[in-house]
Each structure stands twice: as C-alpha cells, then as structure tokens.
Structure 1
C-alpha cells in the first residue's frame, strides 16, 4: 500500500503514551519525524516523555475539562489522533462489581469519545486521521473476558459510526484490533482479575474458582505476541493514501477473528475447550439455590 511522504512536519496526539502500544507508537512516529504529543495522567511522567523527544500533554480521560484543555494546548491543527489508552478488566459477569463495569466503559468508551469530540475540529482542519485501538476479543469474546470485550465492542461500534459520519468531511478513521501482546496492560489485567474475587458471595466465588483457574492457566501458557505488528498497522493507518478501515494484528488475533464465522454453538464449544473450561469445572461447588448476596 502506498504511503504518504513524511517530508512535511506532522503532528499526532497519542493517548496511553506512557506504556504499551501507545508508547511504542509514539516512539515509531517520533523516529519518522512526527511531532508527538504524548498524553499522560501523572505529573511525574512529563519529564520522561520530554526526555524521549515527545511533547507531554496532561490529559485525564475521565475529566472532560482536562481533555478540552489539552485540545486548547495543542491548537487548531492536528494531523493524527491515536486512541490507545485503555484498561483491561477480566472476570465472570456475575463477579464483576457495578463500579468495575462503569470504570471499564468510562475509560475505554466514553473517554475515547470525549477525546474525539475535543480534537475533531483540529483534525478536520488538517484532513487528519483517527486510529482507535480495539481488541479482537470484541468480535469473539472468550469466557470471563466480558468487561474488556464489551467495552471494546462498544468502541468498535463507535469507530464504525464515526467513520461513516466523517466520510465526507476529510477525516479518515481506522480501527486496529490486536491479539494478545506483551504489554503492561496484561499484568494490570491479572491484578484486576484477582480483585474481582471480592465481588459476589463466597459460594458464588467458589462456584467459579475452578473454571477461572483453568482460564488463568491457559492464558499463562499462551505466548504473548510482539507489539510491532500493531504499531505498523497504526503507522499505515496514519500515512497510507487509502488506509484500511479495520486491521487485525497478531497470529492469535487473526485466528480468533475467523471464529466469528462459525455457528454460535460450535464457536462456544471450541473457545471453551481452548480455554480449558469444562462442565466438570462447576461440579465441585454447584449453586443449587440462591446464595446469600455478597459484596457488590
């Protein structure tokens, strides 16, 4: 695919630039000559971002005033926006507390929409690009990945709607859906998953324990893919004359995406088997009656 020359100065805002895909994307674009505005939440991150050659921008996804203040700081023109910031919550729907669901969507969906709203005038002025980082689990959600999968599915819907809205306004929109990658978000997800054990009654927690152990063991054996394919996809989305509307990266990501074409029942059986979740996993602690309510 042909790419636009990078001879003219370009500007891009990358959210989640302090780690994971966002950090790798920021480095790649800086190396290619872009002016990178690196969004960060913590004041102490600014110096490290500046030392890396980026322009740090304080931006809190859950604070609308912070987002619009960042837009004023950057100014009236912006060539690219990469929405990479996210959190990854895992666990059974039944054991995921309401506040965890709210935070998942506040950051992964509402926060992304707020950033887009704030920076769209500057992107429109330059005929810019928007790249949203989704997840292949949005299309084929594995068991106990409901929180992250649901939020990324919502982000995918937002992205597709936005792309159609901006089609005649000169702004192109791409969704990049990576598979599992070797980034810090997966370590954070492990802690979040462990914290979910505090929700629900003790009996309900026990009911899910064996199945959760099987999923954790399967995930621990699965090698995490490199970040590079996702970074390359983002760079192409920002520079190609005709960028793809959707790119799935990683061997596991592409394989999982193919499962969406199977009948639901067959797909469920294959996914459950792959994650080691069997009917026997729930036999040690059956829920034969409604347990007393636990923490919500």
Structure 2
C-alpha cells in the first residue's frame, strides 16, 4: 500500500493545539500551519499569539485561553465554532502542560494541585469543550504526554503522576470514543530542550529551599546533582521540538493512527523497561539518582 493511500492530506483542515506559546507547542503549531493545516493556536497571552502569527507560514489563528480556566476555554470553543462552522474540527492536540520538579516530600499541595489541574483536569476540560466540533468534523484527538508516563523517576514524581493520569485518561477516552469514530492517540516525547527545563529548575530549587531545614538537608546533595544531570540529558538529546511536531503530524494524517508514538530513544526505552522489567529491577537502575555522592 502506498504512503499516499495511508494518509489524509491537510488541505486546510482545522486543528486546535494548546500550549502553543513556546517549546513543543510552538514548534508543532508552526509545522502544522506550514504543511497545510489551518491551526488554531492556543496561547495564554495575546502578545504570544501575535508573535506566533507573525512567525507562521500558512494559516494560523491565535486563540487566547488558559486550559485551567473554564470561562476562557468555553470562549475559545465559541470562537473556533464561529470560524469552522458546521464543518467542525479535524484535530485537537492537547500539548499544554507544566512540570513540577522536586522531591515529593518538598512539593506543596498548592503546587501539586496546579500540576494536576494543568496537565490533567485542564486537558479534560478542553476535550469536553471541543468534542462536539470533533464529532462534526470526523476528527481525532492527540494527547502529548511524556516518556515519564511509562516510568516514574525520583524527583519528577509530581510530573510523572500527571503524565500517568493523562495516559489513563487517553486510554479510557480511546475506548469510549471508538464507537463514535474519534481516534485518540498519545505522543510521548523524551527529553527535549525547551524553555520548560529552565522553569523546572527554578521551581524545583524554590521548593527545596522552602522546605524545613531537616528535610532540605536530606536532599541538598542529590537533588541539585539530579537537576544538572537532567538538563545535560536534555541538552545532549538528539530529539528536537521539530521531531515531535513531525510525529504529531503523522498522528493527524494517518488513516488509522497508532495508539501511541514514542519520540526519542529515551521515551521508547522507558516503555520497554516498564513492560519487561520487574519493579525492583527498575528501582535498582534508578537508585543512583537518590544515592549521595561519596
């Protein structure tokens, strides 16, 4: 079977992508517009949307909303509905997210709620809002998670918890929406250097510094070392935001999209580890992260 017969051309089809202000979302929005989709790019600030529009080649319409704010999500659904009409949507790419990095003992409840609200509850809110348009357009959903949706590593437990939850949400949605002909696909990027990493480092350092001194002392040698190694891994990764954008494109044009696509050797490797190794073996592999240097 030829490649052409297995894909649907973009042909100006409308797609919504969240978290398009920077990083993976920005790369994806620009790529999808460049290859022929009409992209409705979700951003939190008007100035980010204007910058994105000026950078785009092809059709890109910024839409200002916050996935954690139901009022702005409903306004975005109304705006997109007015633009696409009865034709509906071809795709919804749920990319918006934050990453809380700190020992779980140091993560304040407010920060944990923000992690889950942005990466899980907010994603469901967006999906619920746009599902009528996806039904009208015989569309599909692409949820961007992470290789940490396969294996939870020390000091990224809050983020991994959100990604595991988003994986479960995606599986349930795929099964619930299959009778309606709406495919749900997960894209799992590995380490990719984006502005998210700097935010992770700053937030993690603040969380550790705000912990009581006895708790701070337990992690003050291992956590900073982890942050340095984590950033080094991202900087030396061969996976780029454009690599992720191309995989999201595949998920949007495939006649029968896969349930999951890993992007990068580390993301694919974590999935293999989770499938093949017992928990204790994975614990031993990751144990060096939490062992103080001698």
Structure-2-length-normalised TM-score = 0.90
| Residue aligning to 1:121 | 132
- Could you say what secondary structure the match of 1:175 adopts? strand
Structure exhibiting the larger radius of gyration computed from Cα positions: 1
| Residue aligning to 1:111 | 122
| Residue aligning to 1:154 | 165
State which of 138, 156, 174 in structure 2 corresponds to 1:145: 156
| Residue aligning to 1:6 | 9
| Residue aligning to 2:265 | 251
Bigger drift between 210-219 and 34-43 goes to 210-219
State which of 114, 136, 140 in structure 1 corresponds to 2:147: 136
How far apart are residue 28 of structure 1 and its match?
1.2
| Residue aligning to 2:22 | 19
Q: Which runs of 5+ in 2 are unaligned?
A: none
Give yes or no for contact 2:45–2:64 (8 Å, CA) kept in 1: yes
How far apart are residue 7 of structure 1 and its match?
6.1
How far apart are residue 167 of structure 1 and its match?
0.1
- Could you say what secondary structure the match of 2:125 adopts? helix
How far apart are residue 230 of structure 1 and its match?
1.7
Give yes or no for contact 1:3–1:236 (8 Å, CA) kept in 2: no
* CA distance 1:265–1:231, shift in 2 (3 Å): same
Report the structure, 1 or 2, having the larger helix content.
Answer: 2
Aligned-CA RMSD value:
1.6
| Residue aligning to 1:72 | 78
Count of residues in Structure 1 that have an aligned counterpart in Structure 2 = 279
| Residue aligning to 1:194 | 205
| Residue aligning to 2:52 | 49
Structure-1-length-normalised TM-score = 0.90
- Could you say what secondary structure the match of 1:147 adopts? helix
Once the two structures are superposed, the pairs formed by residues 174-213 of structure 1 within 5 Å of their partners are: 174-213=185-224
Give yes or no for contact 2:8–2:255 (8 Å, CA) kept in 1: no
| Residue aligning to 2:67 | 61
- Could you say what secondary structure the match of 1:200 adopts? coil
Structure 1 ranges of 4+ moved more than 4 A: none
Give yes or no for contact 1:17–1:26 (8 Å, CA) kept in 2: yes
Once the two structures are superposed, the pairs formed by residues 203-282 of structure 1 within 5 Å of their partners are: 203-222=214-233, 223-224=236-237, 225-260=239-274, 261-273=276-288, 275=289, 277-278=290-291, 280=292
Give yes or no for contact 1:138–1:149 (8 Å, CA) kept in 2: yes
- Could you say what secondary structure the match of 2:89 adopts? coil
Q: Which runs of 5+ in 1 are unaligned?
A: 284-296
- Could you say what secondary structure the match of 2:50 adopts? helix
